[in-house]
Structure formats: structure tokens, C-alpha cells
Chain A
Amino acid sequence: MAGIEIAKVVKAYGSVPVIHGIDLSVRDGEFVVLVGPSGCGKSTLLRMIAGLESVTGGTIRIGDRVVNDLPPRDRDIAMVFQDYALYPHRTVAENVGFGLRMRGADAMTIEKKVKEAAEILQITHLLDRKPGQLSGGQRQRVAMGRAIVRDPKVFLFDEPLSNLDAQLRAEMRVEIKKLHQRFGTTIIYVTHDQVEAMTLADRIAILKAGHVEQFATPDEVYRRPRSTFVARFIGSPSMNIVPARIAPDATTITLDGDAAVPAPASFARARGRDVLLGLRAEHLGLAGPDGVPARTVIVEPLGSDTLALMQIGRVEMTGRFPPAAPLRAGGDVTLRLDLEQAHLFDPETGLAIV
């Protein structure tokens, strides 16, 4: 097991840079998720760690070795690919044991380890089949079996669940988490799904256009997003972000030139400024007559609670309400905005104002 140290890593294809100097320090045994929209460079970064892409600049260390120039086989890593990349001409057992065989393990050891791995992943009954005869979830398990059997220093996952349906995805998420708990191996996991990121990660690295926007624990990125990008990306529904202006004396905040709402004391840090106000859905609530007047636009009952899109003056915000809340589309309500929990961002840079 080992930590991973990524320092000033740059990647360019020809003269087109796609990753501009990333620094990331992954602790030994940590589960780090790289998340971001497609094209942000998360897969490229993963492949650079794996050795499948060359490193244009900077260094990548696994443990205390600089691996920039090591071929994949010498990095002691295992990887699970998005489309599993199972060898179609080999049986499940052969697939799982392939890496051991390539590293010269003897047949006895291979068989033993393959069996162990199969038991952990509950694929013992599939060992003699070929990948073509398996379902998506089964293939996923085989792909993971192939990774864990080698007991590598680092696991790399490249959007491993994106080909599965929602239920299987949730199931596999749990499996992966269990595996991590069981083996404690360092994991780097790429996904574009923030739910996966939040549920799995010890720490999340949110990537945007080739650089790290924020690298922190799920709680941290959720509660203290460094930028509107992170704020919008993490959490479901997305954080409401609306333009606002804080009065020079910081006692009130005006949402888009309309309703003036009393501001909490902490807003003094941005007194007299145009800001972007970020407010998560759960921080909207129904209020008495002294609340902010709003109109319900759309109601989405989820069972456990109800989401509703609210029109407040000229801005729209989504709120999360108890299932029994008396909401109907087109109805007028008054809202309580829990501004103590709100985030302020600079409208120019999108960065949080702290």
C-alpha cells in the first residue's frame, strides 16, 4: 500500500494542453474520487497514474517512487475499466488469474487466490464461463476480481459503474465501499456522478478544465464549496445560486434588485458588494406571514420529501420541503431563507467569499 503524490502534473497532446499543473496528495489507504464533467481531464489523470498516458510535465509518485517513466506493469496498480475490458477469449477464472500468471505466480497460488477473490465477490459459480455469457453486473464483479486478486498498492477505477442500471449501481457502490474497508488499499476512482463521489470518497477532487477546483472531504466540499462550480456540481438538487447585492451596512441583502431580506451578521464580510448567493434547497422553508413571498412553479414529490421550484421576485430557487407541505403549482406561499447557511461567491471569479 502506498500514497500517491501528484505534483505539478501537466499533460498536452501535441501543443494542446489538457491538464495544467495538478497537485494532489493522496494518503496511504485513502479513497479519493476524481469527479468532474466530461472533458475535465479526470480520466486522463487516472490514465497518467496508471501509466497508460505519458506525463508531459511534473511528477507522479506512488509510494516513494517517481513512476513517470515506469510502464504500467511496473507500477503495482490494478485498474477497473469502464467497459470492464475482460478478455473475451478467456474464462472468468483465467481473467481473474491473468495478472498473477503474467507475474509468474505458480498455478497453485493462482488457483487459491482466484478462489478467494471469487468468494469475496460471489462469482465462484461463474468461474468457468466466458465474459460473453455474463450480465453487466457479473462482468463488473469479474473486473473487480481481476483487480483485487493481485493485491496491488493502488486500485484505479475508471467510471466503473456507468454501464449499470441505477439499482445495480447502488449495490456495487456498497460492494466497492466494503472492499475498501476490507483491504484498506489506496483507491483512485473516476466518476462524473457526484452521488458516487459523495458516498464513496474519503476525499473528493473536483476537476474543471484541467485543474483541481477543490480537493477536500465530502462534507467539506458540500458545506464549504470553494466556488460556484463546486457548489453546483456537488449536491442534489444543485445549489441555488442567484445574483444578489448586500447593503453597505450589511443588514440586508437584495435578491436581484427585488426583495430585500435581512442579512445575517456574517454577511458583513461582503458588505456593499454584488455577490452570488448560494443556498441549498434544504435551507428554504415555509414561513409565516413575515416570510419572503414566492410563487410555486413546479412541485416534485419524492416521497421522503418534496422538491419545489419557487419564483422569488425575478429569481428561481429550488426548495426541499416535508412531504406533507401544502404546495401546489401556481400557489402563493411565503418562504423562510436560512441565510445563516448561505454561501457568498464573487460574481467575477466564482470563488467563495470567506
Chain B
Amino acid sequence: MSDAIRHRLTPLEKSERRLGFAMLAPAFLLLAAVVLYPIAELIRNSFHFNHLAQPWMGTPFVGFENYVKALGDDRFHEAVLHTVLYILVTVPGAVVIGLGLALLANQPFRVKWPVRLGLLLPWALPLVFAGLIFRWFFEYNQGIANAMLRGLGLEPLNWLTSPGLAFFAICLAIIWKSSSFVALVLLAGLQTIPKSFYEAAEVDGATKWQQFREITLPMLRPAIFVALIFRTITAIQTFDIPYAMTNGGPGNSTETLAMYIHKTTVDFLDLGYGSALAVLMFIVSAVITSLYLRHTRRDPGRH
């Protein structure tokens, strides 16, 4: 009997559901039109040998060979390691800085646009150019970083040609660029927190820090989650900034997974292997994202 209840949808529910799917339709139609075929191709390619510079080899099916090759590829390992390091540094970095910027920008300014603009400019600057600008800042002779060191009477540093410093410089650029996006999302979140909460806390004698911990942070959780998940996905795909700043150098010491995929497919024309790398990268992203999603689904803290 209870089964009968469960499985019968009333016409009203049916029409709600129909409406729901109809509302999802535009998004999925767009996705299907644009990326369905490319993704299918990508996955198909990853199981084939397909090297455009060696067309005489044909495109035979090779099963998991490309994947096996990746597992034994030192350069792939290094690229993964670098990517993970970038994620570990720049994601929390951007969230912390972004949160700071959002809090600062959420003050009752009389003139708001310079602040808004300052918040958005890093993000409005195309990635490649942000990378190039920071490369210039860290340039040995004409860079601001070394100019300051010289001004302090210190020896100039080889920012972009020693692996540790280059990593630092790149992280700085990425954080600068991406904290803007984080700040934007968090600012929007901050503005939905009712003032009355703070007034109540104020009355209760909470310090600013306590208000931040007890009201702002919990209320910001959904926004922080959105920012985190996207910052992580984009961090996994880190490409333009290290590409512009060091092109992966010195050696391959700042090369990321996305850069290696780019090189493999665009420069080396090895579509098969490149596709396998891309699928691996996708799997890693998917795992991380699903962890995020599961974490938030468990989260009872909403409202």
C-alpha cells in the first residue's frame, strides 16, 4: 500500500517535475551542443594512438596504454606534484586574501565605485596579461621586486630563474589574480547577512572577532563553498600565469599539468596521450569536487 503511495505522482507533481526538467533543458541543450561531442572525442582519443606528427602509424585502439604510459611518466608526475603544490598554496591563499578583501570592501563607504573597481580589476585583467605584468615585476633588471631589494641595499634575486623563488612569484601572481573572484563571491554573500544579527551580537557584548567567528563565517559558508570549489577547479587547470611568467622554467620546475597537456597536444600533436592526460586530470578534479559536494551535503549548518 505504501508502495502505491510512493510511486503515484499526482498530476500537479508531474507538472512540477515536467517544468523542472524543462527549466534544465536550456542549460543541457547548450552543453550538449557545445561540449558533448568534444568530450566524447576526448575520451575516445584517450584509448587510441593518435599522433598527428606520425600519421603513418594510423590511430589504432590501444586500450589503456596511454594511461599506463602516464603512470610511468616522470614529467607527468612532476607536473602533478607542481599542480598539487599550486593548489595547496593558492587556494587557501586566495580564499584568505579574498575574504580579507571582501570584509574590507563591505564597509559603508561614501564613494563605493573605487573600492568595487579595485576589487574587480585584478579579475578584469586577462589572465595572460596578468602573468606578463607579474613577470615584469619580477624581472631581474627592470622589475619592481629587485628595484626594492636594491633600494634596501640588498642583492637582487633571480626571481624567475630559481625554482623556489619562481614558484613563490607565480603563487603570488595567482593569488593576486584569483582572490578577486573569491572576494566578489564572498562580498555578495556578506551582503545577504542581515544587519540585525550583528546588532544582536553587539547587544550581547560580542567582540568584533567573535561576531566574525560566530556570525560572518557560518553565514558565509555557502559562499565560501562556491568560491572554494571553483578556485580549486581553476587551480587544477592552472595554466596562463606560469605559462606567461616562466613558461614552466627553469627546466620544467614550474610546469603544471595543464601546461603539460597543452604541450603534448598543441606542440607535440600527440592527441592520444594528451587526451589521456586530460581525462586523468578530469578524474582528479571530479574526485575533489565530489568530496566537496559530499562534505557540504552532510553539512547541517545551513540556516
Direct A–B contact in complex, judged by CB atoms less than 8 Å apart? yes
A44-80: CB near B (< 8 Å → 1, else 0) gives 0000000100111100000000001111000000000
Q: Is the Cβ of B12 less than 8 Å from the Cβ of A15?
A: no
Chain B residues, CB < 8 A from A104: none
Would you give the shortest CB distance from B132 to chain A, in whole angstroms? 43
Which stretch from B3-11, B80-88, B197-205, B235-243 is at the chain A interface? B3-11
- Asked if A313 is an interface residue, CB under 8 A from chain B, the answer is no
- Asked if B13 is an interface residue, CB under 8 A from chain A, the answer is yes
Smallest Cβ-Cβ distance to B10: which chain A residue: A54
Would you give the shortest CB distance from A134 to chain B, in whole angstroms? 15
- Asked if B2 is an interface residue, CB under 8 A from chain A, the answer is yes
Count of residues in A whose CB is under 8 Å from the partner chain: 14
> Which of B8, B10, B12, B16 has the most C-beta atoms of chain A within 10 angstroms of its own C-beta?
B12
Q: Is the Cβ of B5 less than 8 Å from the Cβ of A54?
A: no
> Which of A10, A15, A17 has the most C-beta atoms of chain B within 10 angstroms of its own C-beta?
A15
Chain A residues, CB < 8 A from B12: 51, 54-55, 68-71
Q: Is the Cβ of B6 less than 8 Å from the Cβ of A15?
A: yes
Chain B residues, CB < 8 A from A57: 5
Chain A residues, CB < 8 A from B6: 12, 14-15
Q: Is the Cβ of A56 less than 8 Å from the Cβ of B11?
A: no
In residues 1-52 of chain A, which contact B (Cβ within 8 Å)? 10, 12, 14-15, 17, 51
In residues 1-39 of chain B, which contact A (Cβ within 8 Å)? 2-3, 5-6, 8-13, 15-16
Which of A56, A69, A71 has a CB less than 8 Å from the CB of B5? A56
Smallest Cβ-Cβ distance to A10: which chain B residue: B5
Chain A residues, CB < 8 A from B11: 68-69
Q: Is the Cβ of B2 less than 8 Å from the Cβ of A15?
A: yes
Chain A residues, CB < 8 A from B8: 56
Would you give the shortest CB distance from B183 to chain A, in whole angstroms? 25
Smallest Cβ-Cβ distance to A16: which chain B residue: B2
> Which of B6, B8, B15 has the most C-beta atoms of chain A within 10 angstroms of its own C-beta?
B6
Would you give the shortest CB distance from B254 to chain A, in whole angstroms? 49
| 18 extra interface residue pairs, beta carbon distance < 8 Å, beyond A10-B5, A12-B5, A68-B12 | A12-B6, A15-B3, A15-B5, A15-B6, A17-B2, A17-B5, A51-B12, A54-B10, A54-B16, A55-B10, A56-B5, A56-B10, A68-B10, A69-B10, A69-B12, A70-B12, A71-B12, A71-B15
14 A–B contacts, CB within 8 A, in A order? A12-B6, A14-B6, A15-B2, A15-B5, A15-B6, A17-B2, A51-B12, A54-B9, A54-B10, A55-B10, A68-B11, A68-B12, A69-B12, A71-B15
A residues whose Cβ falls under 8 Å from a Cβ of B? 10, 12, 14-15, 17, 51, 54-57, 68-71
